[in-house]
Amino acid sequence: MFQSWYSAHKVTSANPLPDCIPHTNHPTNDARECRPCTPDAHGFSNSLRVPSDLRPGKRKKKTMTKGRTLMAAALLGTTALASTANATQWTGYYIGVSGGYTESNTRYEDLDYSANGATQDWFTDGLGIGVQIGHNWQNKNTVYGVELDFSGFGVEDQRIYSGNQGIENELNWLGSLRARSGFGTGQVFFYQTLGLAVGDFDGHWIVFGDPANSWSDHGDTKAGLIGGFGVEGMIDGNWSVRAEFLASRFFDNSVTTQNLEDLSVDQSVYTIRAGINYAFGGAQDGAHTFEDGKPFDFSGFYVGALLGGSSSTVQSTDIEYDWFGGTHDFADEGFSGGVQLGFNRQINAFVYGLEASFTFLDGDFSHTDTFSRFVDGGLNWTGSLVLKTGMAVDNSLMYIFGGYSYGDYDLTDRNSGTPDIWDLGGGHSGFVVGTGIERALTPNLTFKVEAAYSGFDGDTERAPTDADLFRGAAQNVSVMAGLNYYFGERGGWGTGALPAANWKGFFVGLDGLFAYHHGDITDQDYYEWGGTYTVPSFGGGAGVNIGYNWQKGSFVYGLVGDIAFLSNDEEDTSVNYREMVSSIDWQATLRGRAGLASGDAFMYATAGIAWAGADLEHNYLPAPDDESFAIDDTRFGWVAGLGVEKKIGEKLSLKMEALYTSYGEEQGTNPDQDNCGGSGPNGLCVMNGKDSNITVKAGITYHLGAE
């Protein structure tokens, strides 16, 4: 009889919507929206009571009716227990251990020409292991918490510079205090994280033959910012495992050499790691699905304001070796703030929109060196137009964004007391990419936190009385928090998440992408300019991907492999002297990805390994010249990022991805050059190449196994 009642009353196109959305485990579950449940006098949902037309007055059938009512109550009780478990699954204290791969990049700004008068970038990598302790709170499908961690590293590099100097860089330990916030089911927590970091670095620059301890130690314990993202999953009761990507930027410290010359040092650290946590307080095995409900409505026009901090760099590159022959980075930190105007559309849990913004920055740098060279610069403001895509759950929205940015920066490089002035500043085109979390405070007011990276190209200029070329460029990293106000009548609060679409199975896809490539060549043996020469480039491309997803309720995880062909190709040429070339022709990755799905939306973190066909060349002219350096091997490195995907049918989906890729250091020598007393084999001089890029992808995917 229950079966006949169910067949007559289940939700189909021929039947009206029920009074409520039954729990996922109930046989009448349907993903479509309907009115909230209304409890009867006994606290039971009226949607689970036996219909009156199936309650005859005979005592025997009343007994059967009573049995059915008890069955309904049992189903409701099971549902309530599952919901309660989900709502508190991640709440409580935990401790754990983590370990993984770490890359540290140390940048020396030689302000007073103690060595080469420009910037030197030194790369080192290794493994690290650490411990963490934290506390989470959970409200329905939203999880937030705080974590304190400490890691020690075997990240150390020693090398010979210029034949008679030794350089050592070492990352000893790193600790951080971070907030974590994201979405959680009973089994999986997908989060973003942001906080403060403290790192201890050793650094030594020694000239062989000088008196012991006559050169300052440029290591230091310093503060910085750290951010990233991760996925954590329960494996057995109180135990969980996680994978995490973290990026940290440490502020510069200044040291004075034995010759009373200034040297500024800063570091960037990237970590990909896995860990295991133990939670206290009797954790339960919760469901893999979100608690059902409707997310907050983030659609419509809005205005907003943000305030925070930024770390910006303006670069002066001496193309024709008028002064220092390489790239000089001038870094500074300061406050930043801005305003935004945007419009969102929301299709159940999927949110997308356009946002225009204006951001001011107060960073400024100026210095006069011991040779009376004066440099002044700083990033003043940026204006951007970006595409945002994200997923809404409960009253929160997690999103990524990318688009066009226009930046105005100052950059003046001149020899004091002469008319030789290179003005490389002004307005320049570029891009911006980032991620954020937004949470409703009232039906019209939301709070958000964003992290963004932007890069800008520059002009090549000659001084009025000097024919030598210089080129400018700029980059910026910002972290800001603020408020958005949404116009118009709004709906009520978010009540949960939607049942997930089917993502399981094989898939293939096509990608279009934007790529920002950084190619660095470092003259380790001072064969020519003795510093780092940076050639940035903007490009585009297209590619294909193939992969497979597994799915447990709202949790989706899988593997994806892709390859893309890129147009990035840039060169700086000094006629009849040299050309510096940087290009990337193709890039391939093999990545894992994992995240959570609500309705037709799927937001995920991804990380893995990468290969690229990249060229870095230092060619003497006229070509060919036997003493040129070429670093043109296939590169190998790592990749990490975030993505959002939206089903547009049973078989098709659209996606947006933002990825950062770093390739390890490669060395280039020239066997035809004479023995120059360098650090390479048989005394050959060495130049080191380092590539990294940021890609923003948009693509369409066909799902072979979707139903």
Q: What is the pLDDT of residue 422?
A: 84
Q: What is the pLDDT of residues 77-132, one digit of tens each?
A: 333 333 334 556 899 999 999 999 999 999 888 776 766 677 888 899 999 999 99
Q: What is the DSSP string of 253-294?
A: EEEE-TTS-EEEEEEEEEEEEEEEEEE-S------SSPPBS-
Tell me what the pLDDT averaged over the chain comes to. 83
| 384-393 pLDDT tens trace | 999 999 999 9
* Tokens, residue 323: 């002064």
Kindly state the percentage of the chain with pLDDT values over 90.
57
CA dist 173 and 502 (Å) reads 43
Which residue did the predictor score with more confidence, 72 or 151?
151
Strand 629-631 versus strand 634-647 pairing type = unpaired
Q: What is the pLDDT of residue 607?
A: 98
What's the pLDDT at 87? 53
Residue-wise pLDDT for 593-608, tens only, equals 999 999 999 999 999 9
CA distance 190 to 185: 9
Between 357 and 18, whose confidence is greater?
357
Mean pLDDT check: name the lowest of 221-235, 408-422, 546-560: 408-422
Radius of gyration of the CA atoms of the chain, in A: 29
Q: How far is CA 330 from the centre of its chain?
A: 24
The residue among 447, 553, 434, 556 whose CA lies nearest residue 507 is 556
CA angle 549, 551, 557 (to 5 degrees): 50
Q: Which residues pair with 357 in a beta bridge?
A: 340, 384
673: confidence class by pLDDT, cuts 50, 70, 90: low
Tell me which DSSP letter residue 682 carries. Answer: G
**Sign of the dihedral defined by the CA atoms of residues 669, 674, 677, 682, in that order:** positive
The number of angstroms, rounded, from the C-alpha of 635 to the middle of its chain's C-alpha atoms is: 21
Ranking 331-335, 350-354, 544-548, 579-583 by mean pLDDT, the lowest is 331-335
Domains detected in the chain: 2-76 (no CATH), 94-287 (2.40.160.20), 293-497 (2.40.160.20), 499-707 (2.40.160.20)
The pLDDT of residue 64 is above 60: no
Sign of CA dihedral 50, 53, 58, 60: negative
Statement: residue 50 has pLDDT above 60: no
Q: Which pLDDT score, from 0 to 100, does residue 361 have? A: 94
Q: Is the pLDDT of residue 706 over 70?
A: no
Contacts 24+ apart (CB under 8 A), 63-71: 64/1, 68/1, 68/2, 69/44, 71/2
pLDDT band at 66 (very low <50, low <70, confident <90, very high): very low
Q: Give whichever of 31-40, 436-445, 619-628, 678-687 has the largest mean pLDDT.
A: 436-445
Give the per-residue pLDDT at 37.
Answer: 40
Q: What is the pLDDT of residues 506-545, one digit of tens each?
A: 999 999 999 999 999 998 888 888 889 999 999 999 999 9
CA dihedral 181, 185, 188, 189 (to 10 degrees): 0
Q: Of all residues in the chain, what percent carry a pLDDT higher than 70?
A: 80
Facing residues of 616 across strands?
A: 582, 631
Enumerate the H helices of 537-646 as residue ranges. Answer: none
Residue 375 has pLDDT above 50, yes or no: yes
Q: How far apart, in whole angstroms, are the C-alpha atoms of residue 316 and residue 369? A: 15
pTM: 0.85
Q: Is the pLDDT of residue 297 over 50?
A: yes
Q: Residue 136: phi, psi to the nearest 5?
A: -115, 150
